[in-house]
Structure 1
Amino acid sequence: MEVHVVAREVTKPSSPAIQHKKPYKFSFFDQLTPTTYAPIVYFYPKKNNSEPNLTTQTLTHLKKSLSQTLDLYYPFSGRTNDNLYVDRFDEGVPFLEAKVNCSMSDFLKRHDTESLNRLLPCQPFRKEVNMNIPLLAFQVSIFTCGGIALGWCLSHKLIDGSTASAFVTTWASIFRGDLQDVIKPDLNEASLVFPPKISFPQNHLSLMESLWFTEANYVTRRFVFNAKAIATLRDRAKGKLAAPPSRIETLSCFIWKCGMTATKQISGVTKPSILVEAVNLRQKTKPPMSDASSGNLFWWAIAVANPTDTNTEFPELVSLLSEAIALYKSDYTHTLQGEYGFETVSEYCNQLQELFSLEKPDIFAFTSWKKMRFTRPNFGWGEPFWVGVMGKAGPEFRNLTVFVDATDGEGIEAWITLDEQRMAILQRDPEFLAFASPNPRISTL
């Protein structure tokens, strides 16, 4: 497959007044988050339409509606400054047009996850050292059949899953002319609830980078857990819990357990292991924040399995994670808020640093994009036929699993990134393969 970029433009907010807006302040969670791009690719088959200029009209309207969306989400058009704020809102968003030398159907038959990177405007999930990079970038790739792949890279420095969902829902709504679905972002609440630090501790920034990045030969593979497999695993995972764990908690701990098994096969010993799971804080603050609040309003629930004092059987791992997530249902989240909230974060970072000193433990990170509207935007062509989450991660990105809804609406896709050795073992693990289908064929168009 060959992909040729045929045009590069920069899309800016349509309103000239945007360049006079005050800088957008970071929250301290934005300050803690490393600069890296998260990717997603939407596949829209060509509808039965004989108009010869349909693709040209679509591209023109995509850029125009994006420009109008940036009037509301103007920080996304800017650049970061000193890890404190975003300004220069007239810098704009790269918008690339490309042509693919095959049909969408032929591409999907390959079901080659690493080829997804060719449909993206930049390399995803690598450590970006240049802070002066765009916060968003798009690539529209046209297949020979007229189908469109819309590739999107969003900077995690400013945008989490909920923020991405609000943005792309608004863009799709403006494109369709259905302004009832437009979500006006709250651009101030995050920095008021979690105010930024003028002098930010470098050791905390270094810690977060070590949580996100470490060099290895990583590969990403897609696995699908159907509804029956998930139900069986939930039943096995319940253990002494009063109620079955959530589907995401169950799958996170199952993959964690299999990952620890792979580590033991490689090293010959059972090492301490850490699971970190992203938790959305918006509805856990007091009072709850708006779902339209922009920024990185999530933090990590941490579960630690230490073989010297902890049973690492499946139900026990689930209990560890459930306890870690339950912390955010208590008054703990309130202690993160306001002028003294960073003291709680600092204590959290110090505890995490102590965990990192435990014989270089494995770290497995999990995030869920299930039920988020940004995975299924409707630009008037219906929902995407398929969604590609990530191709090949950068050479320094840590073990990460992203969960999304399977195309049947019942199962869950797990896009797992591991180093080559662990992935090879996982793909041969009979316990894992009893529940996960490795890269199943995508339904034909």
Structure 2
Amino acid sequence: MVDMEVNIVISRDTIKPAADRSLLHAHQKPCNLCIFDQLIPATYVPVIFFYSIVDPNFNVPKTLVHLKTSLSHTLTHYYPFSGRIKNNLYIHDFDAGVPYLEARVECRMFELLELREIELLNRFIPFHPFRKETESPDQLPLMAFQVSVFACGGISVGISLSHKIFDMETANTFFKSWASVFRRDHKAAITSNPNICQASSTFPASDNLPQKYLAFMESMWFEEKKYVTRRFAFDAKAINTLREKAKSDLVPNPTRVETLTCFLWKHATFASRHGGTSRRASVIAQAMNLRRRLKPPMPDDSIGNLFWWATAVYNPTDEAETTYKLCDLLKLLHESLNGLEHDQFLDTLCGEEGRRVFFEYLDQLLEGMDSLDPTPEIYAFTSWVNILDEVDFGWGKPFWIGVMGKVGPAFRNLTVFVKTQRGNGIEAWVTMDEKQMSIMEKDPQFLAFASPNPRILHV
């Protein structure tokens, strides 16, 4: 790895809401978590926006000051994000603030991108990504920022988001609002005020959440292994070819993300089995945004972890492994999606009575996982494809969106999908066991469609 100097030479700060402190304490009660927030372990999700600055009159000092002041004003509307979680039930202490770092990078942005060493990306975010946080959640900030200024133009904005309150839809709502405030686009900023309470009122938290559910969720998220993260790109042609292979009578028009999800699931499982690393059953867990699936739909600006997992099991016999097709996996995934949406199942989870239904559902999941011996491998997938790329501070859309260099040592298999820099392709940021990854990276059937860590073009 090439050594790159990223020095925190400008400032370390804590940004707090700009509103009068007495107003915060007088009018804003603790913000309750929803049941999905409660169940998610404490860990930080990373995202890094890279902006190429070509304006010769770009004023760096003025820009850095305005980023902080606009963030402070944005936090006035999103005051829970400046607080701390108490007893895994609610957010309070809204005046605690968020860590904010400013860094100077002693190279030009395109020189960093030319290296294509994604391990370097962790130097551009405040906290290590997807690490199992052992510090008391009451002490952990809910978000943190690092703004890095490159030599000869270019800025990156790296954010670490606590998964205890943020899913990526929540993050996207906040990012766009902050960018609007920075641009002094008051109309956009006013119309993007968040819906703070709807998640907790629709899916209320439990005052006495059974420990078995917390332990189960932690086991689903973390498993001690030596993980690596790799970036693969799929261009439009490759995706369209795979979609044709994935079609069936049951799924006549698979989406791009569904298709790539099952393609990666298939090859990850193949690498595990044929590399001798495991003979365990393979479970897919695809993050599913609940907002638009509810009846009536919940607003997109509702904050909190309003997603759940669509799960399916792939455990073919040795004889069937070579004949199991991509369309077969798409059928499994759609059966899972349809099961969650069948007969308004999601709507039965709402309210106080819905919490009892949800616990019964979790008990079924526990029984199902216990029935699989040995414990199955779990592959999680989440898509950021239709979000994040509209975060414009007035410098244009992000030139490139980076995810992460290396996850914490215990985080399970995860794939994050984002749009490619150009064209209509998709990048897959894949975290997997190191031995398993080395097998998949050499699989010619996988490489026929996936381009490993392609060059990032600079403007």
Q: Aligning the two structures, in what range does the TM-score lie when normalised by the shorter sequence?
A: over 0.9
Match of 1:239 in 2: 248
SS in 2 for 1:197: coil
Q: Report 1:38-437 matches (<5 A).
A: 38-50=45-57, 54-130=59-135, 131=137, 132-182=139-189, 183-267=192-276, 270-308=279-317, 312-330=324-342, 331-357=344-370, 358=372, 359-372=374-387, 374-437=388-451
User: For residues 69-90 of structure 1, what are the alpha-carbon distances to aligned partners after superposition, in whole Å with 9 as ceiling and x for unaligned?
Assistant: 0000000000000000000000
Match of 1:441 in 2: 455
The whole-number CA distance in structure 2 between the counterparts of 1:268 and 1:56 is 52
Of stretches 343-352 and 208-217 in structure 1, the one that deviates more from structure 2 is 343-352
Of stretches 435-444 and 173-182 in structure 1, the one that deviates more from structure 2 is 173-182
Task: Quote how far apart the aligned CAs of 1:113 are.
Answer: 0.8
Match of 1:14 in 2: 18
Structure 1 contact 245–322 (Cα < 8 Å) conserved: no
Structure 1 contact 260–270 (Cα < 8 Å) conserved: no
The whole-number CA distance in structure 2 between the counterparts of 1:42 and 1:284 is 29
Structure 1 contact 280–297 (Cα < 8 Å) conserved: yes
Q: 1:191 to 1:422 in 2, by over 3 A?
A: same
Task: Quote how far apart the aligned CAs of 1:179 are.
Answer: 2.0
Task: Quote how far apart the aligned CAs of 1:159 are.
Answer: 0.7
The whole-number CA distance in structure 1 between the counterparts of 2:72 and 2:448 is 48
Counting matched residue pairs gives 442
User: For residues 265-311 of structure 1, what are the alpha-carbon distances to aligned partners after superposition, in whole Å with 9 as ceiling and x for unaligned?
Assistant: 23376431100000111111122111111100000000111225987
SS in 1 for 2:352: coil
The whole-number CA distance in structure 1 between the counterparts of 2:130 and 2:179 is 25
Q: 1:268 to 1:209 in 2, by over 3 A?
A: closer
For structure 2, list consecutive stretches of 5 or more residues without a partner in the other structure: none
Kindly provide the amino acid, as one letter, of the partner of residue 123 in structure 1: H
User: For residues 39-88 of structure 1, what are the alpha-carbon distances to aligned partners after superposition, in whole Å with 9 as ceiling and x for unaligned?
Assistant: 0111112222236xx11100100000000000000000000000000000
Q: 1:113 to 1:376 in 2, by over 3 A?
A: farther
Structure 2 contact 277–436 (Cα < 8 Å) conserved: no
Structure 1 contact 277–366 (Cα < 8 Å) conserved: yes
- RMSD across aligned positions (CA): 1.5
Task: Quote how far apart the aligned CAs of 1:150 are.
Answer: 0.7
Match of 1:4 in 2: 7
TM-score normalised by length of structure 2:
0.93
Structure 1 contact 263–270 (Cα < 8 Å) conserved: yes
For structure 1, list consecutive stretches of 5 or more residues without a partner in the other structure: none
SS in 2 for 1:267: coil
Structure 2 contact 277–435 (Cα < 8 Å) conserved: no
Q: 1:294 to 1:38 in 2, by over 3 A?
A: same
Task: Quote how far apart the aligned CAs of 1:242 are.
Answer: 4.7
The whole-number CA distance in structure 1 between the counterparts of 2:196 and 2:55 is 40
Kindly provide the amino acid, as one letter, of the partner of residue 243 in structure 1: P
Task: Quote how far apart the aligned CAs of 1:444 are.
Answer: 2.2
The whole-number CA distance in structure 2 between the counterparts of 1:152 and 1:409 is 26
Residue 23 of structure 1, aligned match among 15, 26, 30: 30
Kindly provide the amino acid, as one letter, of the partner of residue 408 in structure 2: G
Kindly provide the amino acid, as one letter, of the partner of residue 32 in structure 1: L
Of stretches 142-151 and 113-122 in structure 1, the one that deviates more from structure 2 is 142-151
The whole-number CA distance in structure 2 between the counterparts of 1:242 and 1:115 is 40
SS in 1 for 2:25: helix
Q: 1:120 to 1:195 in 2, by over 3 A?
A: same
Structure 2 contact 251–330 (Cα < 8 Å) conserved: no
Kindly provide the amino acid, as one letter, of the partner of residue 378 in structure 1: D
Structure 2 contact 148–156 (Cα < 8 Å) conserved: yes
SS in 2 for 1:340: helix
The whole-number CA distance in structure 1 between the counterparts of 2:55 and 2:206 is 54
The whole-number CA distance in structure 2 between the counterparts of 1:113 and 1:318 is 30
The whole-number CA distance in structure 1 between the counterparts of 2:433 and 2:439 is 10
Structure 1 contact 389–415 (Cα < 8 Å) conserved: yes
Structure 2 contact 84–92 (Cα < 8 Å) conserved: yes
Of stretches 226-235 and 323-332 in structure 1, the one that deviates more from structure 2 is 323-332
TM-score normalised by length of structure 1:
0.96
SS in 2 for 1:97: strand
Task: Quote how far apart the aligned CAs of 1:347 are.
Answer: 2.5
Structure 1 contact 271–307 (Cα < 8 Å) conserved: no
The whole-number CA distance in structure 2 between the counterparts of 1:344 and 1:246 is 30
